[in-house]
Structures are given as C-alpha cells and as structure tokens.
Amino acid sequence: MTFDARALRDAFGAFLTGVTVVTTHNEEGAPIGFTANSFTSVSLDPPLLLVCLAKTSRNYATLTGAKGFAVNILAEDQKDLSNTFARPVEDRFAAVAWKNGPFGSPVFANVAAWFDCAMHELVDAGDHVILIGRVEGFDNSGRTGLGYARGGYFTPALAEKTLLANADASLLLGVVAERDGEILMVEDGNGGWTLPFVEKAESEGLEALEDHVDMNLGLILWPGLLYSVYEDTKTGRQHVVYRATLGKGAPKSGRFFPIQAPPLAEISDSAVRDLVKRYAAESTLGNFGVYVGNQEKGRVHAVAAKG
C-alpha cells in the first residue's frame, strides 16, 4: 500500500513534540547543526537517546561518520534559533552562544537541556537513519521546552501569559521556584515561611511575578508550567501558582530549603503547606500535575512529566 507522503507527514505532525538542534563537528572541525523534533530518550542504564536523520540531508555523511553528537533541547523563547538551524543560513552558530560539551560536540547556552553523546549505534530505517547516542554528559536548566505540533510552535508559559493578561480581576500570582534541588521560600510576616506571591493588576501578566522576584529577591526567574489554581474561600482571593527555575546568586531575602525537607511546621497557610508537600512528592516521581480547587479541597490533573 502506498500513501500520499504529504498526508502521512501531516498525520505524524499531530503528535506534540519538543524541538531540538542536533550538533557535531565536520572533518575540518567546523561546527554543524540542524533542527530536529524526532528525538526521544531510549534507556537510563545505559544512558541512551536517539534522533532520526533523513538520508537526503546534507548532514548525512558528517553525522553518520562522526564519533558523537549533541542534542540541544530548545527553551520556549528560542523559536528564532530553531528557525535559524532549519534554514540554509551561512553561519548558523553566529546566532547562539555555544561551547564544546564534555565529549566534544557543540552545546548551547540557555537551552532547556543538552546531551553530549558518543555514537552508540546506527540503525537503518527506510529513508532515514536512526542515530542512537550514549550520553556522556548533560545539563538540565529546568526551563520549559519549545513545543511543536501540526507544523507550528506552541509555548505553554507564553500562552498562559496571554490568559493572565486578559483576566478580568486582580489575583495573586505565586511561584514554586527551584534551583539545584532546593525551593525558595520567603518570610510570611508572622515568623513563618510562604512562597513568593505578588498581586497582579488587571492589565498585567506573568511579568508581574518575574519583576517581583527580580526587584525584591534579586534573582532572575524563568517561569515554567502552571502548577496550582485555587481560591481562598476565607478571603475570596484567587491564587495562580507556577513552577519556575531561578538564576544564580544569593537572594536579597528569603531562604532556600531542600525540596524534600521544606519547613512544613513553619508554614501557617494550609494551602501553601499542601502545595509544597505535593511538590516534594511529585519531584520524587518526576511527574507534575495541576491542582484546581480551593484551599481545602480540589483535584490534581496529571498533565506533564519532568524531562
């Protein structure tokens, strides 16, 4: 049976994927790279991943003859970088800060994650070849990845920014901000701890939270996916909480606590206490959901898996 190639490609495109740039060096030592969304993890022991490469690609000979390659998972604000490496640009690498990874292939700055791999196996697959790489080094920034489906990009956090900007009334924006296995908590004014919250005006979006953390805590915040939406029925205030990653540096105020050892006894707000407990449990499993309800009862919708 034969199929229309374009129709089959469109059907494959219904699957939501991330966006990566695969890189290596050619025989002359120059860096090369191309955009790819045919990426998946394969094994943890040994650590293996794969990408697929068309046999018609101008990079085919270089990649199949290379000792290794890197996979750079692009962050949601790197759509332009994806487009650069998908087009015949003369010097693609001029558009990105990069360095050689532990095994020698180019890895990018500010991506969601990167993996530097040794070539483990080549598998013939019709008009493509499957490159299976053994991970020799990696880095995970915690930033949200760029999505792709039906021939277009999607960015979860940016979509939620638009929704927040169109909210009819003010609400409290909060964040579970993580760095190096710890979360940042701030004083609640009563001798205890809480999460960073800021009141969002009607015309503001998620940038209100980013600005609050920058100005009051002195840290760069990279918002991720939505984590909790709940109403405090005692005050009538709506709370919208995100997961996020923090930049380097010491906070002006507040304190970092291990994710698995938060100061629960010193968190007076029951909703925040339950939220922090849930985050610790879900971090162990690597799966995060979105809570919707009030400060006493609600439902967790399992929607995302940690990279």
Tokens 């995302």: give the residue: 304
Query: Which of the following CATH numbers is that of domain 5-153: 1.20.120.1750, 3.40.50.920, 2.30.110.10, 1.10.10.10?
Result: 2.30.110.10
Residue 3: band (very low, low, confident or very high) from pLDDT cuts 50, 70, 90? confident
**What's 59's DSSP letter?**
T
Domain ranges of the chain: 5-153, 163-305
- Mean pLDDT, the chain, as a whole number? 87
**What's 110's DSSP letter?**
T
How far is it, in rounded angstroms, from Cα 139 to Cα 188?
34
**Cβ neighbours for 294, distance < 8 A, ≥ 6 positions apart:** 230, 231, 232, 233
Tokens 């360095």: give the residue: 99
Question: What pLDDT was estimated at residue 300?
Answer: 84
Asked whether this chain's domains 5-153 and 163-305 adopt the same fold, the reply is: no
- Inter-CA distances, 104 with 26, 67, 83, Å: 12, 9, 24
Residue 157: band (very low, low, confident or very high) from pLDDT cuts 50, 70, 90? low
Judged against a pLDDT cut of 70, whether residue 94 lies above it is answered with yes
Are the beta carbons of 235 and 282 closer than 8 angstroms?
no
Look up the pTM and report it. 0.61
Question: What pLDDT was estimated at residue 276?
Answer: 96
**Fold assignment, 163-305:** Nucleoside Triphosphate Pyrophosphohydrolase (3.90.79)
How far is it, in rounded angstroms, from Cα 99 to Cα 103?
11
How far is it, in rounded angstroms, from Cα 225 to Cα 119?
33
